[in-house]
């Protein structure tokens, strides 16, 4: 599922060229040309999240195919638009001989004669090259550009051409054989009824890829690595969410108020405290809400930490508890459809 979600970013990048997100990425990293220039160039200083989002582009690009309109935004050789493969892969010897290796589909089509113009560096061809040239012409002759019509990107695994996470998941299962790491925390991360952004956050947390100060220090070695909450020398994920005394205060309070076991001292133990479904036969609303306790606590710690860093706020135990309670309550009401969620007598009480 993780890869399927990442593929969604590739889809957004390719199809919604006007979104704010694509503008931001394009401003910083370029891209949005044709063929291989379509992707942003993520150098070593690019954000880790951004790199993660595009990590699979060379694999996933095979699942996208162009429906050519005027052909102006589709690369003749390097995009998939005529059949299953890129033309550069279909006829590699001809691609090597091609006089023009850049250029859009539009530039290769001659409106006047209604035919394709693929000039080669030499006229005398070997048998293999002749075969390949014939294959190329066979492939493109029935096709033509359509002036006044926009090029469209289509997601092939879905018959309608539009992207869905479900079809991407299926696509990865088939095409990423042995390549689809089943996240060991899959259930704990993706099952709880919390907003998608929280699931993604928990996923980054499980990979220890959150941009803690220890993580940032990899490319900003002069910045402070100290914990933003307690001034311990190194702010790792492990420290911030498990052993930081400020976080521990929150977890202890959470344990007392909800009756959940929160006395963990490591990430491993934290996941133990976060069952995907404590009891498969227990589909009660209480059990569903209980699954949001760990994400709510972790999210509270992360938000508090960010407010300390970016707004100069101070971490207060009471504020953190309020924030935690707000998360569990709101998610319970708006996602799990509970009428009301309250905390009483050391347990969570759910009204339906
Ligand atoms: Zn700390």
CA–CA gap between residue 156 and residue 167 (Å, rounded): 9
Q: Separation of 211 CA from ligand 1 center, angstroms? A: 15
pLDDT in tens, 193-208: 888 788 878 887 887 8
223 compared with 235, residue with greater pLDDT: 235
- Separation of CA 200 and ligand 1 centre (Å): 23
Q: Ligand 1 center to residue 233 CA distance, Å?
A: 8
Going from the Cα of 240 to the center of ligand 1, the distance in angstroms, rounded, reads 5
Helix axes 196-206, 293-311, angle to 10 degrees: 80
Domain boundaries, the chain: 2-175, 186-351
- Residue 237 CA, ligand 1 centroid: distance in Å: 10
φ, ψ (nearest 5 deg) of residue 350: -115, 130
User: Residues 81-139: pLDDT tens digits?
Assistant: 888 788 998 999 999 999 998 888 999 988 777 788 888 888 788 888 888 888 898 88
Residue range 77-95, pLDDT digits in tens: 988 888 878 899 899 999 9
Average pLDDT over residues 47-59: 59
Per-range mean pLDDT, top range of 139-148, 283-292, 325-334 = 325-334
Count of beta carbons in the 10 Å neighbourhood of residue 60: 23
Which DSSP category does 37 fall into? G
Tell me, in angstroms, the distance from the centre of ligand 1 to residue 228's CA: 6
Q: 293 CA distance to ligand 1 centroid (A)?
A: 21
The Å distance, Cα 232 to ligand 1 centre, comes to 5
Q: Rounded to an integer, what distance in angstroms lies between the CA atom of residue 189 and that of residue 82?
A: 40
* C-alpha of residue 83 to centroid of ligand 1, in Å: 56
Tens of pLDDT along 303-345?
999 999 888 889 999 999 999 999 999 999 988 889 999 988 8
Give me the helix-helix angle, 293-311 and 317-334, nearest 10°: 130
CA 229–ligand 1 middle distance (angstroms): 5
Could you read off the pLDDT of 153-179 as tens digits, one per residue? 887 777 777 777 677 666 666 665 444
How remote is the CA of residue 122 from the centroid of ligand 1, in Å? 68
Query: Which helix (H) or strand (E) element contains residue 168?
Result: helix 165-175
Distance 218 CA to ligand 1 centre (A): 19
119-157 b/e with 16+ CB inside 10 Å = b?
A: eeeeeeeeeebeebbeebeebbeeeebeeeeebebbbeb
CA of 309 to the centre of ligand 1 (A): 13
**Per-residue pLDDT, 60:** 63
CB-based contact 226:213 (threshold 8 Å): yes
CA–centroid distance, residue 46 to ligand 1 (Å): 27
Q: How far is the CA of 246 from the centre of ligand 1 (A)?
A: 6
pTM tops 0.85: no
């Amino acid at each position: 599922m993780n890869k399927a979600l990442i593929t969604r970013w590739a889809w957004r990048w390719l199809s919604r060229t006007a979104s704010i997100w694509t503008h931001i990425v394009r401003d910083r990293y370029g891209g949005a040309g044709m063929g291989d220039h379509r992707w942003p160039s993520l150098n070593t200083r690019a954000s880790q999240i951004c790199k993660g989002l595009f990590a699979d582009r060379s694999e996933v690009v095979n699942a996208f195919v162009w429906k050519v309109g005027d052909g102006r935004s589709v690369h003749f050789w390097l995009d998939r638009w005529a059949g299953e493969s890129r033309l550069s892969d279909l006829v590699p010897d001809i691609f090597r001989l091609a006089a023009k290796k850049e250029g859009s589909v539009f530039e290769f089509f001659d409106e006047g004669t209604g035919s394709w113009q693929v000039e080669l560096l030499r006229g005398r061809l070997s048998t293999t090259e002749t075969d390949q040239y014939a294959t190329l012409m066979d492939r493109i002759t029935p096709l033509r550009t359509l002036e006044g019509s926009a090029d469209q990107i289509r997601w092939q695994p879905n018959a309608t051409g539009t992207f869905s996470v479900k079809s991407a998941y299926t696509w990865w299962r088939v095409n990423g054989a042995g390549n689809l790491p089943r996240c060991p925390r899959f259930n704990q991360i993706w099952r709880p009824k919390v907003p998608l952004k929280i699931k993604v956050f928990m996923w980054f947390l499980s990979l220890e890829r959150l941009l803690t100060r220890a993580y940032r220090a990899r490319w900003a070695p002069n910045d402070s690595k100290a914990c933003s909450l307690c001034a311990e020398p190194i702010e790792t994920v492990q420290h911030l969410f498990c052993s930081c005394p400020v976080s521990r205060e929150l977890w202890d309070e959470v344990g007392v108020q909800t009756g959940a076991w929160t006395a963990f001292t490591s990430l491993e133990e934290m996941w133990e405290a976060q069952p995907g479904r404590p009891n498969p036969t227990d589909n009660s609303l209480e059990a569903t809400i209980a699954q949001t306790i760990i994400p709510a606590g972790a999210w509270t710690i992360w938000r508090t930490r960010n407010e300390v860093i970016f707004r100069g706020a101070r971490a207060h135990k009471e504020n953190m508890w309020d924030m935690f309670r707000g998360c569990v309550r709101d998610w319970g009401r708006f996602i799990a459809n509970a009428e009301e969620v309250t905390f009483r007598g050391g347990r969570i009480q759910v009204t339906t």
